[in-house]
Structures are given as C-alpha cells and as structure tokens.
Amino acid sequence: MDVLSDAVAAMRLGRPHSALRDKFAPWGSRFDAHDGAGFHVLLRGSAWLLPEGDAARAVSLGPGDVVFLAHGRGHTLVSEIGVEPDPLTLDEDGNWPAPPPRPSVGPTPDTVMLCGAYQLERARAHPLLGELPDVVHLPARVGAHRSLRAAIELLGDELDAPRPGSDTIVSALVDTLLLYILRAWWLDPEREPGHEHPAGWSSALTEPPLAAALRAMHADPAHGWTVAELAGLGGLSRAAFARRFAAAVGMPPLAYLTWWRMTTAGRLLREADEPLRVVAQRAGYASEFAFAKAFRREFGVAPGQYRKAS
C-alpha cells in the first residue's frame, strides 16, 4: 500500500474545487482561514503571497511557481505589496466563489492563476501532513517536477475549455495534483537552498526499513504486528527499529498501528455501509465489543453514533 495516498485519503472529504482566475493589476485577494487546504499555481505574470496577511513573510511568485497551504490558515495574494485585497470566503461546501466567465475577447490579464481547495478532516490529521510548513513553495525550475507540471497543464486545459466529462476529469486531476505537490515536497532530491524540511516523515518515507514497516501496516492493519516482526522487514534489530521509527514518525510503532487502525475504521464508518463486525475485523479486532471500546476511547463516541453523525 502507498502510505502517502493513504494519509491523504484518511483526511479527504467531499469534492475538491478549482478555478482559473484572471487578474488585472493592481489586484489583491484575501483568503480567510478554513478547515481545508489550498493551492495556487501562477500561470502568467507575478504576485506576492502574504501568509496571514503578513508582508514581512511575503513570498515572491513567478510563472510556474506552485504554493500549497496545508493548514488552512488565512493568506493574501497581491500584485504588489501594499495593494488592498478584496476578501474571498469559502462557501458552505468548502468552495471559493466562482470566478466570472472568461471573455473570449478583450484585454490580456496581467496575471493568470490556477487555484484549488480541498476539504480535510482535521480531527484525524495524519502526522505526515501535520509536519508540513504553513506555506509549501515549489519554485519553477527547468526539468523539475515534470509529472506535476503535466498535471497542471491538463487541469488548466480542462478549466479553460470544459468538454464532456470535464467535471469528473477536473476532480480527479485536482486530487492527483495534491499528491504530486506532496511528493515533490518530500521526495525532491534538489531542495531549494534555505527551504530544507526537517527530518521526520521525509526520512520515514525514504529510509527502506521504516518505509517497509509503514507499507506493511497500511497494507494489512488487521494483522497482529509485533515490533520484532516489523523490524525484521527492514533487517534491523528490534531496539534500533523502534528508536528510528519513533524519532521519524513521532510515536512508537505499535502506537502508530493503533492510530492507523482507528483512522481506517473511522473512514470505513464514514464511507461504507459494512456491518460493524466487518469494520472491527478490518481494524484488527476479534470482537465488536473490543472494537467499540477502543473506538470510543479514541473518538469519544460509539462507532454507531460516529457513523450516524458523519
């Protein structure tokens, strides 16, 4: 199983939202804080991103730059520092206001942006995503992140000229774009100087012994894994594996296994109609009673109540 895909799937809710936005200088947009995450891709022109409106932390953006805001904090985009921004607030479905129709004729916009938003379940935020900085900035570099660039081009084409099937294609591409952004951040072998991310989940994803253990737990959370068994997958001693795993992941191996089992159970209760005994088995519990007790301890409510409220 793919740990990165699982981490995203555990948090994702609803459908993503995206739009092309044309801007004529001077312009500014203020995005309020929200429970989801969002991205901006500068396709033409230049802009400044101000995290939470703070000009002292402004990030200069040029054509091809990608920024991802994982924690839903407020931010501002402006053509120039000092421009007064117009507010943009998400609606009840977690979408930004739709941009006006793109005219077929008229002046060329100074800036064209591709923007998107995701709804996330913050209560079960995977630590892999929680480790991200407030702003992930992926500057355009020749030959870098080719898959990400290809996805951006495809998404931009669909939004610019919708055709039959575009609704499904756009939704799939926006989800794909999220994974490409995260992959580019964690696995980029040529990080921009000054933007190195700390050791942690990046090492868990790239160190073979840790990655092997994580893949095994995600592939079969119901298995009765032991620390010795997980350590053996990567050829480490029990003590060395436990120490390295806790340092990278932030919790001991079996604590992470329990957390992932409960996260998996919560997702099944939200998204599937399987009987509780089946959910319990898939989460690694031999009885409904033991599962319900563990679930209540983790979520504060019984599994049936959680399902009804989801």
Residue, of 197 and 253, whose pLDDT is higher: 253
Are 25 and 130 found together in one domain?
yes
Per-residue pLDDT at 81: 95
Per-residue pLDDT at 15: 79
196: in domain: no
Tens-place pLDDT, residues 107-158 = 889 999 999 988 887 777 788 788 888 999 999 987 888 999 999 999 999 9
Range of weakest confidence among 6-15, 197-206, 245-254, 274-283: 197-206
100: in domain: yes
Q: Which residues pair with 49 in a beta bridge?
A: 59, 77
16: in domain: yes
Burial per residue of 193-214, b for 16 or more beta-carbon CB atoms within 10 angstroms, e otherwise? eeeeeeebbbbbbebebbbbbb
How far is CA 144 from each of CA 8, 228, 279, rounded to the nearest angstrom?
A: 23, 39, 42
**Domain containing 87 — which CATH number?**
2.60.120.280
Confidence of residue 95 (pLDDT cuts 50, 70, 90): low
* % of the chain residues with pLDDT over 90: 57
195: in domain: no
- Final residue in a domain of this structure, among 159, 187, 215: 187
Are 261 and 289 found together in one domain?
yes
Domain count across the chain:
2
Pairing of strands 66-69, 136-138: antiparallel
Residue 82, judged by CB atoms within 10 A of its CB (0-12, 13-18, 19+), counts as exposed
Are 115 and 10 found together in one domain?
yes
293: in domain: yes
User: DSSP secondary-structure letter at 280?
Assistant: H
Per-residue pLDDT at 126: 80
- Mean pLDDT score, 164-180: 92
- Final residue in a domain of this structure, among 187, 211, 235: 187
* % of the chain residues with pLDDT over 70: 92
Name the range with the highest mean pLDDT among 95-104, 179-188, 191-200, 274-283. 274-283
Q: Which pTM was predicted? A: 0.83
Are 26 and 138 found together in one domain?
yes
Are 31 and 156 found together in one domain?
yes
Number of H helices, E strands in the chain: 12, 10
Are 230 and 93 found together in one domain?
no
Residue type, 70: A
Are 249 and 180 found together in one domain?
no
Are 75 and 120 found together in one domain?
yes
Peptide bond preceding 26 in cis form (omega within 30 of 0): yes
CB 46 within 8 A of CB 300: no
Are 11 and 137 found together in one domain?
yes
Domain hosting residue 236, numbered range: 202-309
How far is CA 52 from each of CA 56, 58, 178, 264, 287, rounded to the nearest angstrom?
A: 10, 10, 22, 33, 48
pLDDT, averaged across the chain: 88
Helix axis angle for 3-11 and 166-187, nearest 10°, is 120
d(CA 62, CA 46): 5
Tens-place pLDDT, residues 174-194 = 999 999 998 888 776 555 555
192: in domain: no
Kindly tell me if the per-residue pLDDT of 62 is higher than 90. Answer: yes
